[in-house]
Amino acid sequence: MKQWSILLVFLSLSLSLSAQQGYEKDVFVSSTGDSLPYRMIRPEPMKAGKKYPLVLFLHGAGERGNDNERQLTHGGQMFLNPVNREKYPAFVLVPQCPAGSYWAYTERPKSLFPADMPAGQEMSSLIRTLKQLLDTYLVMPEVDKKRIYIVGLSMGAMGTYDLVVRYPEIFAAAVPICGSVNPDRLPAAKEVKFRIFHGDADDVVTVEGSREAYKALKAAGAKVEYIEFPGCNHGSWNPAFNYPGFMEWLFKQKK
């Protein structure tokens, strides 16, 4: 049993190190002095005069910290897959939320049921810093402003909803996975294309978070798809990342 435990730890460390390879490591400092660690990959290879899409990837609560590594745990490998890099060359930004903080809110909402989620609030300082980080890439001539995408898991899906509601003019597509949002906020993002994923057995973030988001976006006239995984608990990012055409759908979206 002890040998198996050591082996599992070794495999976990190996996967973490593997996910880090290929990602540049940096720390962004905002205009107010707030710092945000992040990882980034560039299109490979980059061709002079060509524009490339950009993906902003927001991790979940379990990957918070300041090691600038843990945020690559879920989904980091997906963007390093050499086939994906060849077919879908892109800038990929993966910031890390500080321990104890929350992407879209100053603290974890007391209830994650959609009707109980905040209907609107002042922008969190973390989202403000995150937006400034994104802005530094949006001004790059190599970035295609018509193909800016955001993907978020759980807490990161809540950050995804928050950003697209605040800045719908920026994002061509959003992929919130096992998240929640007050549906009253979503008509503001009706011009963004959505693909929403959730497990119907989720006991961390209620599946109603995605069901109500889908209904609100549909009613607002948005182009939205909803994929629900029967019997799947909170880790619905695994079947979502393996869903047929996940990358193809994302990278064909344009403003």
* DSSP per residue, 57-122: EE--GGG-SSSSSGGGTTTHHHHH-HHHHHHS--EEEEE-PPTT--SSSSS--S--SGGGS-S--P
Residue 4 lies in a domain: no
Q: Is the pLDDT of residue 2 over 60?
A: no
pLDDT at 207: 98
pLDDT at 186: 98
Residue 219 lies in a domain: yes
Residue 131 lies in a domain: yes
Give me the chain's average pLDDT, please: 92
Residue 36 lies in a domain: yes
Residue 125 lies in a domain: yes
Q: Copy the structure tokens of residue 16.
A: 């973490």
Residue 192 lies in a domain: yes
Q: Is the pLDDT of residue 9 over 80?
A: no
Residue 19 lies in a domain: no
Question: Domain of 72?
Answer: 31-252
The whole-angstrom separation of Cα 3 and Cα 241 is 31
**Enclosing H/E stretch for 130:** helix 125-138
The pair phi, psi for residue 120, each rounded to 5°, is: 160, 140
CB contact at 8 A, 58 and 96:
no
pLDDT tens digit string along 78-131? 999 999 999 999 999 999 999 999 999 988 899 999 999 999 778 889 999 999
CATH classification of the domain holding 63: 3.40.50.1820
- Give how many domains the chain has, as a whole number: 1
Residue 16 lies in a domain: no
pLDDT tens digit string along 75-88? 999 999 999 999 99
pLDDT at 3: 52
